[in-house]
């Protein structure tokens, strides 16, 4: 749930914030509800930046694979 004007002034921002709260509620469990908190936006931004950085690292060949054989 997101409430105007507390969580956003424009419809687009309010819907985005409500969507983040919905995502959090679904991760908690079936039939749950959750109010938007600024921390949800911060977590979403951090996840997006991490995802962008991972894709950049893969495309730039910054990963090295080391294989260690396991004996059963």
Range of the domain at 17: 11-59
Q: What is the pLDDT of residue 16?
A: 92
Phi, psi angles (nearest 5°) of residue 10: -110, 155
Number of structural domains the chain divides into: 1
DSSP 15: H
* Mean predicted confidence (pLDDT) in 2-16: 90
Q: Is residue 71 part of a domain?
A: no
pLDDT (tens digit per residue) in 11-34: 999 999 999 999 999 999 888 889
Q: For residues 8-44, b (16+ Cβ closer than 10 Å) or e, as one string? A: beeeeebebbbebbeebbeeeeeeeebebeeebeeeb
How confident is residue 65, by pLDDT bands cut at 50, 70 and 90? Answer: confident
pLDDT confidence bin for 6, thresholds 50/70/90: confident
Domain presence at residue 43: yes
Asked whether residue 2 is assigned to any structural domain, the reply reads no
34: in domain: yes
Q: Work out the end-to-end distance of the chain between its first and last CA atoms, rounded to an integer number of angstroms.
A: 52
72 occurs within a structural domain: no
């Amino acid at each position: 749930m997101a409430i105007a004007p507390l969580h956003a002034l424009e419809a687009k921002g309010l819907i985005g914030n409500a969507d983040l709260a919905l995502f959090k509620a679904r991760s908690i469990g079936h039939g749950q509800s959750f109010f938007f908190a600024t921390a949800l936006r911060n977590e979403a931004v951090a996840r997006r930046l991490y995802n962008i950085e991972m894709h950049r690292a893969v495309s730039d060949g910054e990963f090295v694979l080391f294989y260690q054989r396991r004996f059963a």
